[in-house]
Amino acid sequence: MPFTYKPGVIGLQRVCIYRRAFGKRILKEMWIVLGGYLGKVLRVNLTEGTITSETVSPAVLRVYIGGTGLGIFFLYNEVPAGVTPFSPDNRLVFCTGPLTGSGVPGSGNYSVVTRSPLSGFAVSAQSNGHFGAVLKKAGFDAIIFQGASLVPVYLYINNGQAFLQDAQEVWGKETFETETFLIEKHRIVGMPKPRVACIGPAGENMVLYAGIENEMGHLAASGGVGAVMGSKKLKAVVVLGNGRVPVNPGTQDEFRAAIRKWAGDAKEGGLGATVDRLGSAGLFEAYYQNGWVPVKNLAETKFPAHERFDGVYLRQNFPGKRNSCYACPMDHCRRMTIPNGKYAGMVVEEPEYEDLAGWGSNVGNDDPAAAFYLTDLTDRLGLDLKEATFLVSLLMECYEKGLLTAKDLDGLQLDWGNIEAIAELLKRIAGLEGVGEHLAGGVVKAARWIGKEAPRFAVYVKRGYAPHVHDLRTKWGAIFTQAISQMGSQQGIDLTNKAAPDIGIDQPVGFSAEGIPRAEAMTGRKRQLEDCLGVCYFVCRGPGGLNHYIQALNALTGWDMSVEEALTVGERVINLLRLFNIRFGHTVDDDSVSPRLLEPPKDGPGAGKSLAPWFNQMRRTYYESMGWDPDSGHPLPETLDRLGIKL
Ligand code: SF4
C-alpha cells in the first residue's frame, strides 16, 4: 500500500498531534519543525508490506541530533534482548542528520544503524555521495525497516510518496548493475536523477561483512549492514526528490556565512589539504614513512612499491575526472581510467588510501592498477574491504606457512600478489560457493576454520572486526580507539602525531599509555557528535574543528547549542551504544584486540613497541574517564543520570 502525505510549508512546518476525547478531536501537542529536519520518519514493515510515517519529538532531536545518535535511539528502544541480527525483529535504520542536504560541505551523508551480525553488537556504518541528501529532499529524515519480506523487494520514494516494489528483476545482480537499472527505470524528465542504495550478491547471501553501496563506489561498509538488509529481502532503496531542507528563518544569513567559512576551513590543515589535492591516496607515502601501512598481514613492514601507491604518482599517471559528493568543495572523489596494461580502459572510482593498502601492500601486490581492479570488484560484490583484505591476507600467510593448501581452497593458489586468485576467492565468498562458505563469517571465523596457529595471525579488534587498514601497532591511539569502540570502527581520533586544540588537547599524545585513554574519552565525544550531524568525516578535519560545524548547526536549526552541550551529545551516544551492547552480552573482554596487533613490529618507527604491557591499565583509565565502573566497564548510574538516559 503506498503511503502519501502532503509536504508542509518549507521551513515552518506545523506538526499537530490530536487525541480523541468525548467524541472530539483535541489538540494534544503542536510544534514547528526545526530547520535542518523534515520532521518525518518512514517506518516500513516488510513482513506486512505496510508503510507509515512518524514524527520525532524536538526534545529527542536536541539530545540525539541524527545519524548514529538517532539510529541508536531507535535501536535501543525497539530491539530487546534475544533479538538476533537476522531476526525480522531486528531494525535496519537509515538515518540522515540535520546538516544532510543543507548545502554545508560534504552533506550527502547517511548512516545505517542495526545490530551487527559480525560482532553481535550495535553498528553504525556511514556513506557519502548524494543518497542522504536526496532522501531528505524526498521528504524524510530517516527510514526504519522492520520485519522481513518473503520475496525480494525494494523501496521507492518519490517526493513524499513511498512504495514497496517487486525486486525480482534486480535480485542476483551486482551493485553497479542494480544501481544503473533502477536509475534508468525511475528517471523522470525534469526531475533530478534518482539515487540508489543497494546490496550486491554478498548482501543477498548474508555474508557477515556485506555492505550497502551507493553511487558507484560509496559504501556503508562496516559490520554487515548489507547482510541485515539481505535477511529482510530488501534489495535497494531508490530516492527521488527536489524539495529543500528548511533553514531557521531568523538565521539564514548566519547559515550562509557558516557554510562559506567551513568550506574554506575543510581544505586547510594537513588532512583536508592533502585529500583536496590528491585524494586520501595522498596520505600513502607519509603513512608508509610512519610505519602505518600494513604489509602482508602485518608479518612484514617493507613495501618497495610504496611510491607508486601514493596520490602524487596516481594522479600523474591515471587520468581522472572530478566526481565530488553532494555540496563538497574538495577535489577528492574521482572517476579514473586505467590507461594501459592488463586492466586498460577500466573506469573506476579512485581508490581510497585504505583500498590501496588493502589490495596493495597487505596482500603483496605491487601493481596499483590491480588494486584499482580489486577495489572495484569488492564494491560491485558489496563487500566490506576492511574485512575482506584482512581475511585474504590471513589466508595468504597461512598458505605460505603451509597451514592451508590449494586443495583446501578449491584449487586456488593463494601466493602473495596473486590477483586472479584473490578475485576468484571474493566472488566465491559473495556467492557462498565452495570454500566461500567457510569464509563468509569474516576473519575470526576463518581463523577458527583453518585452526592450528591461524588465530594467532588473525588481525582483528574486539572479538571479531577487521580494523581500519593500517598497521595499527605503530598507531596506538588508533588501535586503542578501535579496541574500546562500541562499533569496532574508530570511535575517537588517533592523536599519535597530531593535537586537537578545539577540545583542549594541545600536544600529540604519541605513545603515552596515560594520555591515550584520556584523549580517547574526549575525542570519542567529538567523533560521535560528527556522526550525528550527517556530514562526511573528511570535511570535519580542518583546523577550525568543531566550532565550524556547531556554528552551522545552530544557524540551521535555530538552536543555541554550546560546545559543551554538543560534546555531551557525542558522550550520550557512546553511552547508549554501550548499554545496547551490554544488553547483548558485552563484557570487558570485548574491549580488546587480537594477539597479532599486540606483537611489536620487527623494524621501522614502531620497532620493539607493544601495547600489551599497558593495555589493561589503559582500558581502566578510559573507563574511569568516561564515568564507567573500572572493573565491569558499565556506565555508572550518576553518569547516566547526568546524560538523561533512563534504563
Ligand atoms: S571529502 Fe570526499 S568523500 Fe567526503 S564528501 Fe567530499 S568528495 Fe565525498
List pLDDT tens digits, range 13-22. Answer: 455 555 666 6
CA 502, 506, 507, 510 torsion-angle sign: negative
Is pLDDT of 278 > 70?
yes
Confidence of residue 547 (pLDDT cuts 50, 70, 90): confident
Asked whether 99 lines ligand 1 (CB < 6 A), one says no
Residue owning the nearest CA to atom 4 of ligand 1:
536
Give me the phi and psi of 319, to 5 degrees please.
-60, 140
Domains of the chain in start order, with CATH, are 3-246 (3.60.9.10), 284-444 (1.10.569.10), 475-541+562-643 (1.10.599.10)
Q: How far is the CA of 128 from the centre of ligand 1 (A)?
A: 7
Q: How far is the CA of 280 from the centre of ligand 1 (A)?
A: 10
Mean pLDDT throughout 220-227?
97
Q: Is the Cβ–Cβ distance between 267 and 329 less than 8 Å? A: yes
Mean pLDDT throughout 238-244?
96
| Contacts for 539 with CB less than 8 Å, ≥ 6 apart | 104, 105, 106, 262, 266, 272, 328, 330
Q: In angstroms, rounded to a whole number, what is the distance separating the alpha carbons of residues 26 and 30?
A: 11
Q: Which of 156-160, 226-230, 362-366, 512-516 has the lowest mean pLDDT?
A: 512-516
Residue 505: Cβ within 10 Å count: 18
**Partners of 335 in the β-ladder:** 321, 349
pLDDT higher at 275 or 12: 275
H/E stretch holding 552 reads helix 546-557
Which pLDDT belongs to residue 27?
62
Average pLDDT value for the chain: 93
Please count the helices (runs of H) and the strands (runs of E) in the chain. 23, 18
Q: How far is the CA of 536 from the centre of ligand 1 (A)?
A: 6
Q: How far is the CA of 36 from the centre of ligand 1 (A)?
A: 20
List pLDDT tens digits, range 615-624. Answer: 999 999 999 9
Q: How far is the CA of 104 from the centre of ligand 1 (A)?
A: 12
- In the block, cell 506538526 appears at 15
Asked whether 324 lines ligand 1 (CB < 6 A), one says yes
Which pLDDT belongs to residue 493?
80
Is pLDDT of 8 > 80?
no
Confidence of residue 227 (pLDDT cuts 50, 70, 90): very high
List pLDDT tens digits, range 72-116. Answer: 999 999 999 999 999 999 999 999 999 999 999 999 999 999 999
Which pLDDT belongs to residue 12?
42
**Partners of 238 in the β-ladder:** 156, 196
Is pLDDT of 36 > 50?
yes
Which pLDDT belongs to residue 28?
57
Which pLDDT belongs to residue 173?
98
Confidence of residue 32 (pLDDT cuts 50, 70, 90): low
Residue owning the nearest CA to atom 3 of ligand 1:
128
Q: In angstroms, rounded to a whole number, what is the distance separating the alpha carbons of residues 340 and 420?
A: 18
Annotate 41-72 with b (16+ C-beta within 10 A) or e (fewer).
bbbbbbeeeebebebbebeebebbbbbbbbbb
Q: Quote the strand ranges of 33-133, DSSP E.
A: 41-45, 50-54, 92-95, 110-115, 122-127
Long-range pairs for 563-570: beta carbons < 8 A, 24 or more residues apart: 566/529, 567/503, 567/522, 567/525, 567/526, 567/529, 568/525, 568/643, 569/63, 569/64, 569/65, 569/69, 569/528, 569/529, 569/532, 570/524, 570/525, 570/526, 570/527, 570/528, 570/529, 570/530, 570/532
| Contacts for 285 with CB less than 8 Å, ≥ 6 apart | 306, 307, 310, 312
177 burial (CB, 10 Å; 0-12 / 13-18 / 19+) is middle
Is pLDDT of 290 > 50?
yes
Q: How far is the CA of 325 from the centre of ligand 1 (A)?
A: 5
Asked whether 128 lines ligand 1 (CB < 6 A), one says yes
Q: In angstroms, rounded to a whole number, what is the distance separating the alpha carbons of residues 222 and 224?
A: 6
Asked whether 539 lines ligand 1 (CB < 6 A), one says yes
List pLDDT tens digits, range 332-364. Answer: 999 999 999 999 999 999 999 999 999 999 999
Ligand 1 atom at shortest distance from the alpha carbon of 129 = 8
* Nine-digit cell string for 130: 548524494
* Nine-digit cell string for 108: 550527502
Tally the C-alpha atoms within 13 A of residue 638's C-alpha that lie toward its C-beta.
5
595 burial (CB, 10 Å; 0-12 / 13-18 / 19+) is middle
- In the block, cell 548474508 appears at 206
Ligand 1: which of 265, 276, 323, 536 to mutate, most ligand atoms within 8 Å of CB?
536
Q: Report residue 206 CA to chain centroid gap.
A: 18
Is pLDDT of 606 > 90?
no
Provide, rounded to the nearest whole percent, the portion of the chain with pLDDT above 70.
Answer: 95
Q: How far is the CA of 334 from the centre of ligand 1 (A)?
A: 10
Which pLDDT belongs to residue 5?
28
Confidence of residue 2 (pLDDT cuts 50, 70, 90): very low
Confidence of residue 487 (pLDDT cuts 50, 70, 90): confident
Which pLDDT belongs to residue 3?
31
- In the block, cell 566465491 appears at 428
Is pLDDT of 30 > 80?
no
Which pLDDT belongs to residue 196?
98
Q: Report residue 436 CA to chain centroid gap.
A: 24
**Partners of 166 in the β-ladder:** 153
Confidence of residue 499 (pLDDT cuts 50, 70, 90): confident
* Nine-digit cell string for 604: 621501522
Which of 540, 531, 523 lies closest to 626 in space, CA to CA? 523
Which pLDDT belongs to residue 542?
84
Is pLDDT of 511 > 90?
no
Which pLDDT belongs to residue 17?
53
Ligand 1 atom at shortest distance from the alpha carbon of 537 = 4
Provide, rounded to the nearest whole percent, the portion of the chain with pLDDT above 90.
Answer: 84
Ligand 1: which of 283, 326, 539 to mutate, most ligand atoms within 8 Å of CB?
539
**Partners of 165 in the β-ladder:** 154
* Nine-digit cell string for 428: 566465491
Q: In angstroms, rounded to a whole number, what is the distance separating the alpha carbons of residues 85 and 116?
A: 6
pLDDT higher at 528 or 498: 528
Residue owning the nearest CA to atom 5 of ligand 1:
106
The verdict on ipTM greater than 0.95 is yes
Mean pLDDT throughout 52-64?
94
Residue owning the nearest CA to atom 8 of ligand 1:
325
